[in-house]
Chains A and B, each alone.
Chain A
Amino acid sequence: MFVPPENRIKGKKVNFMATCLCDAIFDKAAINSVELLKKFGAEVEFLSNQTCCGQPAFNSGDFASARAVIEHTMKVFGANDYPIVIPSGSCAAMLFHSSKIAFRDADEAKRKEVDKFADRIWEFCDYLVNVLGVEKIGGKFKAKVAVHNSCHSKGSGTPEAMKKLLTTIEGLELVDFDGSDDCCGFGGTFSVVMPELSAEMGEAKVKAITAKNPDLITAADTSCLMHQKGIADKHGIKYPAKHVAQLFYEAMKNGGLI
């Protein structure tokens, strides 16, 4: 369980960290996240030299490469001292927890820098509820929705925040499914280092979710959804999946709130 630091920096002026997956593939999740942040009163900056959190290298044990990428990220976001909002529980956990392991043998000054950086990291839903104080998304979204809580967000405020906001949407019905606490098998590079295990875990997840016939599957991480949908596609199973920011945005749009 990756638990964020206790007294993280709050504030309405924020940096948005898009993540490599939103940069390359899930542009809509990033766009809708920024639109919602602004709608709920945040002032959003996007520092364009940002790249990635370094997680692919870190999870593979290449801590030296991961440190180089984290160093770059800290340098880019050193342009200001605002909180950093990320539309991914996993990338957030990388920067508030795992970065400390990557730099555990560094000198004290560096470790302090990494700790200080960790204090600025927020996952999108966690930030909406626990910093901006958003109580309600509202709007309408008539659908049965299955929520996948990504493993790396479990120790943070994300699952509770996401659920709280989803239940304020008219017409939205949350559906439970078996093994909702289980990993879907993506695990970043795990999916290509251990492809058989990963696929089998993914198939079990897709099966458990589709057994409940949801209209939509949502999560605070595009990565898990990409893996699940990729597996479902390969089996010819319909698997409508969207990042939770897209769902929030559509609900507000349907309700004429945006």
Chain B
Amino acid sequence: MALQPIDHFCETLDPHVKKAITAASVGSTNAQKAILERDYPGDKTDHLRSLANAIKGGDLAGNLEKAVASLERNGITVLFAKDGAEARDIIYNIIKEREAKNVVKIKSMTTEEIELNHFLQEKGMDVVETDLGELIIQIENEKPSHIVKPAIHRTRGDIAESFVKHNIAEKYDDNPNHLTLAARKYLREKYFAADVVVSGANYVLAEEGAIVLCTNEGNSRFSMAGAKTHIALVGFEKVIPSAKELAVFLNLLARSATGQTSTAYTDFVAGPGKSKNSPKEMFLVFLDNGRSDILASESAEILKCIRCGACMNRCPVFRLVGGHAYRATYPGPLGIVLSPLLAGDKLATLADLPKACSLCGACGEVCPAKIPLPDLILKNRDKVKKQHIHVPNDINFWPFKLLATTPWMWKSAMAMSKAANFLPLSWIKFGPAGRWFKSRTIPRINGGNFRNWFKKNG
């Protein structure tokens, strides 16, 4: 039986990995719910979410223009990249011009989006992820399976083995504290050697001309203490008006992502050379990579996303497959909206993604920016259909349409449907019926009974 790629992934995923993903996701959803109910009871959470939605729905072009002026005023060189290739070249050239080789990275999904690490490594640079989760997957040459918790699919046993294999730990030890200490020791050397630090940004403050980084491990500060040059790659939708509005997002982000009141570290970087140890120069590369097209489309609301991961934690499909099933940088409900849109004219390669959703609506309920994710998922399905892209297991609806718009046919079909009770339907092994009967039975067909009853008793 032909399965959609994500369905196939679900069927064949190692049960232990599946269990780890489910447990971590459910735990995060519960933590989000508990802390929001505790800190913003009643309709206060909803009020905050509405504020976040409204702020992100403001004058993005105007804010961006203002941000550029403020950032430059603070000594930050601002550059624009229209796509991933351009962004990679810009970043590479900055590093090359400084004859630098050692790059430390602060966790950034935007750099994942443009596959920066491989590009720089192929050019002979030493690129090291300093976020523990990112480091765990980088040494195994994997992609993140979650936007906030990139190693959600790996058990501590896997990590302990991997650390020995890659000389981060001397011997196998799956104690989480010991694993963290081993990584810390390994990374310390990298911080000292670093020439350049590459980060993303959670927010760009237009008024103040600063970027904001929310992290939990202190790795951002270590990275910036060692490196001489800081390059931040940022999707332009991360610009918000000012520090005043930031409060709304800081109150929502960590609560929604990890169930914390705030991340352990919130760094404000308002230009180079502000303290003795900070980088001496700073570049901010604003990435488009399809965002302008999305902004002009009916799916613009997806650009309000604050990358907390609450939607994927809550998603019943994500909980069974994890991020790798989605074959794209952004997984889960966010991903099945954003990834096909970012794919642009390569939509066909990710056209099955919007189908990975039972339309339960739960993602929309937990989204701190109140993005109507279910509606956007449906619009993506419409888009795929309009472009006549074939998706496995798609159903042809012309018979349904004909029946449901031709009452006499519909009524006769209902009256005749009882005959199906005498057919061995469960023997069907193909098509939609076959896929239904593989895991389910159907009840007795009583077609037309209600109509007859109503005629007599209605």
Contact = CB atoms under 8 A, between A and B. Distances in A.
Interface of A: 1-2, 18, 20, 22-27, 30-31, 34, 44, 46, 48-52, 54, 56-65, 68-69, 71-72, 76, 98, 101, 104, 151-152, 154-155, 181-183, 185-202, 226-227, 229-231, 233-234
A167 to B, nearest CB: 24
Interface in B358-372: 358-362, 364-365
B454 A230 contact: no
Nearest to B381: A61
Interface stretch (B98-106, B266-274, B409-417): B409-417
Given A1-B365, A48-B451, A188-B359, A234 B298 contact: no
B7 A195 contact: yes
A59 B453 CA distance: 31
Given A27-B446, A183-B360, A234-B441, A57 B400 contact: yes
Given A101-B378, A234-B440, A59 B359 contact: yes
Contacts of A202: 439-440
A191 B454 contact: no
Contacts of A60: 381, 385, 394-395, 397
B458 interface: yes
Q: Interface residues of B: mostly helix, strand, loop or mixed?
A: helix
Nearest to A155: B361
A183 B443 CA distance: 21
B451 A61 contact: no
Contacts of A193: 4, 355, 393-395, 432, 435
Contacts of B448: 23
A195 B1 CA distance: 10
B217 interface: no
B3 A196 contact: yes
Contact of B442 (A20, A52, A181, A226): A226
Q: Interface residues of A: mostly helix, strand, loop or mixed?
A: helix
Given A62-B385, A71-B405, A187-B360, 6 more contacts: A61-B378, A151-B361, A185-B358, A194-B317, A195-B1, A226-B442
B365 to A, nearest CB: 5
Contacts of B417: 24
Given A54-B404, A62-B397, A229-B443, A1 B364 contact: yes
List the 4 shortest-distance A-B pairs measured between CB atoms, nearest first.
A61-B381, A187-B358, A230-B440, A183-B360
B341 to A, nearest CB: 15
Contact of A195 (B439, B447, B451): B439
19 contacts: A24-B414, A24-B446, A48-B407, A50-B407, A51-B410, A57-B397, A61-B354, A61-B381, A65-B401, A101-B375, A183-B360, A192-B433, A194-B7, A195-B7, A196-B11, A197-B321, A199-B438, A230-B436, A233-B440
B69 interface: no
Interface residues of B, number: 68
Given A24-B446, A26-B446, A61-B381, A194 B397 contact: no
Contacts, number: 207
B442 to A, nearest CB: 6
Contacts of A48: 407, 411, 451
Nearest to A104: B298
A194 B384 CA distance: 17
A230 B358 contact: no
Contacts of A201: 316, 320, 358
A124 B419 CA distance: 30
Given A194-B355, A197-B10, A234-B440, A25 B446 contact: yes
Contacts of B451: 18, 23, 46, 48
Contacts of A23: 414, 447-448, 450-451
Given A49-B407, A101-B375, A233-B440, A194 B320 contact: no
Contacts of A182: 316, 360, 362
B85 interface: no
Contacts of A101: 375, 378-379
B382 interface: yes
B403 interface: yes
A1 B365 CA distance: 6
A27 B10 CA distance: 36
A190 B359 contact: yes
Contacts of A63: 382, 385
Contacts of B292: none
Contacts of A61: 354, 378, 381-382, 384-385
Interface in B419-443: 432-433, 435-436, 438-443
B52 interface: no
A62 B357 CA distance: 16
Interface in B224-245: none
A14 to B, nearest CB: 12
B439 A51 contact: no
A85 B442 CA distance: 26
Contact of B439 (A30, A68, A98, A234): A234
Interface string B1-33: 101101110110000000000000000000000
B264 interface: no
Contacts of A155: 361
Contact of A192 (B361, B385, B432, B458): B432
A27 B450 contact: yes
